[in-house]
Homo-oligomer: A and B are copies of this chain.
Amino acid sequence: MASVETSVPQTTISMLQDKAAQLRIDSIRSTTEAGSGHPTTCASCAEIMSALFFSVMRYDPKNPRNPRNDAFVLSKGHAAPILYSAWAEAGLFPREELLKLRKFDSDLEGHPTPRLPFVDVATGSLGQGVCAAVGIALAGKYLDKIDQRVYVLLGDGETAEGSVWEAAHVASYHKLDNLCATVDVNRLGQSQPTMDQHDMEAHRARWAAFGWNAIVVDGHDLNALLEAYRTAESTTGRPTAVLARTIKGKDIPGEEDKNGFHGKALDRKQAEEAIASIGKSIHGNGAWKPTLPSKSSEAIAAPVESAFPPPPYAPGKDEIATRKAFGSALAALGKADSRVVVLDADVENSTYTEDFQKVCPDRFFEMFIAEQNMVGAAMGLSAHGHIPFASTFACFLSRAYDFVRMAAIGDNNIKLVGTHAGVSIGEDGPSQMGLEDLAIMAAQPNITVLYPSDGVSTWASIKLAADIQGPVYVRTGRPKNPVVYQPTEKFEVGKSKVLRQSGSDLLTIVASGVTLFEALQACDTLKAEGINVRLVDLFSVEPIDRDGLIAAAKATGGRVLTVEDHYAHGGIGDSVLAALSDQRITLEKLAVRRIPHSGTPEELLDKYGISASHIVEAARRMVPA
């Protein structure tokens, strides 16, 4: 590691100045060609990007997916053009590609996505990249144990986002000295100056108060930047924040440090003038040679996989809550697959991820009551080859919904498990009930949504979640329920299970979770009345078992009754409706239709119309007289 006293040769500084100028030129040129984008946002961080990409970071410019590369996350995603320019300048692709910025046939999109090989997580919703960087740093320091540094670039306006401070707090708690954040303090937001403008002491005090080594520099002074990054490298036990005072629109004539130029491409004439002006400072002294990733580091451990055991549950044995089966399955999976990592938001004794922690303490990370950063860190971990399960009460995953949205955009391989779904949690009241989790998770077009009902299906869902490539959500509940499946039962994504059927079924009932047990009771009551019904355990909400549902609906006169411990919009009723939309069926949806109240689980299932008696009533209404 370089000591902070090492002085940098002037030829290096000169080379870096040239690179910074070139990055400014390329950012201007590409945004002008696109007719939109954020050139002034790029201009403020040109020296920062030059220092990182052409001096500080060790990486293979021909192989951005090399897991030993130092990692870089552009948390201020709207500076995408300068990120693309840096990789072009590093030689990954020809500079002319930059002129395809923001076009449909290029992956150089308006904001970065992992469609590009040098992007781990999609950014463009501010305050998220820094959380992903925490996940990457956790992976590098504690799991892969490699000599890798993680750099993340934020904007100053971005630090108004609370998720930044969630990341800052958890990063210092976990002593992530391999993590270095740079804040490009260019004083101006989109519509006006930021809260702190150029009050660098305010910026410094905040990061220091969160336990970071906080260094203030002139963000256009390459010597100062390099020294700060060297200090960061030699700092142990805590992460470093480089707070770089910069000028928005730096070196763009007429736009420096001025409000009103955010997100505005220069017109062609302005661009030509700016490029000519900036180009004058390029001297062409000194060539860049990449510093390849360290070879001396320990090998990244290859994933170890062994057989995942069958579930220890069977019908007729003890009742079990799906959240408890989740915890047990996760512990078993952790022992079977070294890629599995678990993140908790201080509820491990309610979600039972404590079972995983007991057997795999080194792969369990406590992220405290900060769900946004928990999901963001999972995104970062997933981008570096791990399979993170992030879990809390289903309702509190809504806290991280914008992160879930961005994880879907990036198709990150994260696994979210929500516990305590629905009114069946009882006395804690509506603030603790997940009643919209299916709606919000299934809304994303690439999230697989599983909703197991008993211990056996929960056990299977956790293994399926790990095996699927891409984001997965599993819904679990608080109350204990009987086991309905044999431990040998096979579950598949996109397949439902028929639990009751006869040759004379008049109605299909579709349920999952606690309402499956209400429906089973209802089936018995109805059968005693001479009404045979078909009962489907949906299990896989997205993708849904369209063929199975069509077959059931066709066999039962096109009469379908859905029942769910979820609000009426966007839950399993709506998913079933969508699957059967061209079948000319009739469907009644039993769901929670108003804000619930505290009470006992049994009371609430009944008060909100989703108990066995309501199912029986609806069935009687629906079947032919």
Residues of chain A touching chain B, judged by Cβ–Cβ distance below 8 Å, are 34-37, 77, 102-104, 107, 109-111, 113, 115, 122-127, 157-158, 160-166, 169-170, 173, 189-192, 194-195, 202, 205-206, 208-211, 344, 346-350, 354, 366, 368-370, 372-373, 395-396, 398-399, 401-402, 405-406, 408-409, 411, 427-432, 436, 439-440, 442-446, 542, 558, 567-570, 573-575, 577-578, 581-589, 592-595, 597-600, 603-604, 607
Contact = CB atoms under 8 A, between A and B. Distances in A.
B593 A399 contact: no
Contacts of A402: 395-396, 398-399, 401
Given A368-B157, A429-B113, A445-B568, A588 B582 contact: yes
A160 B586 contact: no
B444 A122 contact: no
Nearest to A438: B443
B558 A569 contact: no
B432 A443 contact: no
Contacts of A594: 445-446
A598 B110 contact: yes
A96 B467 CA distance: 54
Given A109-B597, A368-B194, A568-B578, A409 B427 contact: no
Given A113-B430, A160-B368, A439 B597 contact: no
Nearest to A604: B104
29 contacts: A102-B429, A103-B599, A104-B598, A104-B600, A107-B597, A113-B429, A113-B431, A124-B428, A125-B431, A160-B170, A169-B195, A189-B368, A189-B369, A190-B347, A191-B344, A205-B205, A205-B209, A206-B209, A398-B401, A398-B402, A409-B431, A409-B595, A439-B443, A439-B570, A440-B443, A445-B567, A446-B594, A577-B581, A584-B584
A395 to B, nearest CB: 7
Given A165-B165, A205-B209, A569 B442 contact: yes
A584 to B, nearest CB: 4
A583 B585 CA distance: 8
A194 B411 CA distance: 32
A161 to B, nearest CB: 6
Contact of A584 (B347, B354, B568, B586): B586
Given A194-B368, A369-B160, A429 B398 contact: no
A191 B570 contact: no
B409 A398 contact: no
A592 B408 CA distance: 14
B586 A583 contact: yes
A419 to B, nearest CB: 13
Contacts of A577: 574, 577-578, 581
Contacts of A34: 427
A488 B137 CA distance: 60
Contacts of A111: 428-432
Contacts of A586: 581-584
